[in-house]
């Protein structure tokens, strides 16, 4: 993404500007594309003009093009476009807003966090997430009570990116949201906390009715690094979805749960090579001598990656 500051141009901006005045919208649209190719900050005012073009296809292209630039002027142009009556233009603007990286743009974004349109509110929080400005924390926490789930999920993203310990109660509450996408985002966001409360919330999510949430919960526990909830991870090795079982194996290995060796070893005989490999990797990470015999029995696994991992795991355990 280019900053909104003029630098060496690789195209004739003046000539392109003339084409933006063409009566033919297809010519104007191509001119917008060429503006991006110039890689010049001088393109931004022209794109800001094009995003108000009479033709929706030109406005949409301009909104997309602005995503290649950054800065307050870019944000200003996109905020007008995100209110466009044409849904495709508004979506293009929302996507480009999410590409902003200049924190100064947050001053323009924050007032729209309470906009009457749920689409706009969601777009604003989506953009604020990457900017990571402290002033967005209060509005994001308040938005966890928004009626629209799309707004709530983006608000969770803002909170998760800020990684503030004081937001943990709000995130834990969001892990129980009625919307699965929000629960998933909240469980994933717990990773930064690295404490018992976060680990327990992730462990509780291992019982979620949606397997995608359970999968993220199993992975999150490994990232949090709290061995106190290992019992719940071991229990999830019987989950009906292999994706959950796989993440549980990986996390048990990361946490080096020695008491899980007996539950992990049977996965060396699983029908899925990926689970056999992850079981071997987990046993290698744990490096408990009790796993040596089970691993030695699988050095001739039909899958080369599994064989390699089994041999590695035996090396981690040592001769004993």
pLDDT digits (tens, 9 = 90+) for 179-230: 999 999 999 999 999 899 999 999 999 999 999 999 999 999 999 999 999 9
Name the phi and psi angles at 69, rounded to 5: -125, 175
Tell me the β-bridge partners of 3: 70
User: What are the E-state strand segments in the chain?
Assistant: 2-3, 69-70
Phi, psi angle pair for 70, to nearest 5°? -145, 165
pLDDT computed for residue 1 by the predictor: 58
pLDDT value of position 216: 98
- Whether the Cβ atoms of residue 10 and residue 38 lie closer than 8 Å to each other: yes
Residue 60 CB neighbour total at 10 angstroms: 24
Confidence of residue 14 (pLDDT cuts 50, 70, 90): confident
DSSP annotation of 71 reads: S
Q: Which residue from 248, 177, 244 is spatially nearest to 214, judged by alpha carbons?
A: 244
Whether 159 has a pLDDT exceeding 80, the answer reads yes
**Region class of 158: left (phi > 0), else alpha (psi between -120 and 50), else beta:** alpha
Look at residue 39 in the predicted model and tell me its pLDDT.
Answer: 81
**Residue 9 pLDDT more than 50?**
no
Closest Cα partner for 132 from 171, 95, 164, 168? 164
Q: Is the pLDDT of residue 76 over 50?
A: yes
Q: Sign of the C-alpha dihedral, residues 217, 223, 228, 233?
A: positive
Q: Which two tokens stand for residue 58?
A: 């030109």
Residue 2 has pLDDT above 70, yes or no: no
Query: Looking at residues 23-39, what average pLDDT do you find?
Result: 93
What are residue 71's phi and psi, to 5 degrees? 120, 175
Neighbours of 258 (CB within 10 A): 15
């Amino acid at each position: 993404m280019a900053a909104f500051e003029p630098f060496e141009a690789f195209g004739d901006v003046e000539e392109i500007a003339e084409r933006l005045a063409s009566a033919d919208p297809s010519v104007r649209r191509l001119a917008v594309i060429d503006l991006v190719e110039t890689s010049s900050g001088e393109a931004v005012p022209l794109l800001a003009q094009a995003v108000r073009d009479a033709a929706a296809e030109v406005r949409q292209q301009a909104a997309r093009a602005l995503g290649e630039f950054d800065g307050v002027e870019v944000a200003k142009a996109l905020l007008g476009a995100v209110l466009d009556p044409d849904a495709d233009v508004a979506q293009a603007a929302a996507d480009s807003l999410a590409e902003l990286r200049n924190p100064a743009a947050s001053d323009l974004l924050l007032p729209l966090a309470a906009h009457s349109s749920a689409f706009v509110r969601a777009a604003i929080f989506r953009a604020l997430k990457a900017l990571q400005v402290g002033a967005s924390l209060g509005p994001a926490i308040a938005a966890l009570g928004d009626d629209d789930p799309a707004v709530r999920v983006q608000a969770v993203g803002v909170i998760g990116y800020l990684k503030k310990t004081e937001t943990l109660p709000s995130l834990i509450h969001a892990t129980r949201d009625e919307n699965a996408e929000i629960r998933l985002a909240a469980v994933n966001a717990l990773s930064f906390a690295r404490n018992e409360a976060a680990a327990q919330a992730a462990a509780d999510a291992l019982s979620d009715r949606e397997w995608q949430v359970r999968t993220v919960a199993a992975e999150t526990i490994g990232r949090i690094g709290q061995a106190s909830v290992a019992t719940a991870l071991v229990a999830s090795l019987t989950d009906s979805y292999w994706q959950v079982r796989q993440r549980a194996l990986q996390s048990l290995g990361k946490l080096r749960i020695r008491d899980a060796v007996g539950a992990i070893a049977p996965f060396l005989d699983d029908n899925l090579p990926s689970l056999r490999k992850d079981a071997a990797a987990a046993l290698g990470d744990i490096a408990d001598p009790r796993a040596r015999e089970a691993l030695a029995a699988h050095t001739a696994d039909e899958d080369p990656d599994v064989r390699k991992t089994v041999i590695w795991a035996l090396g981690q355990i040592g001769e004993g």
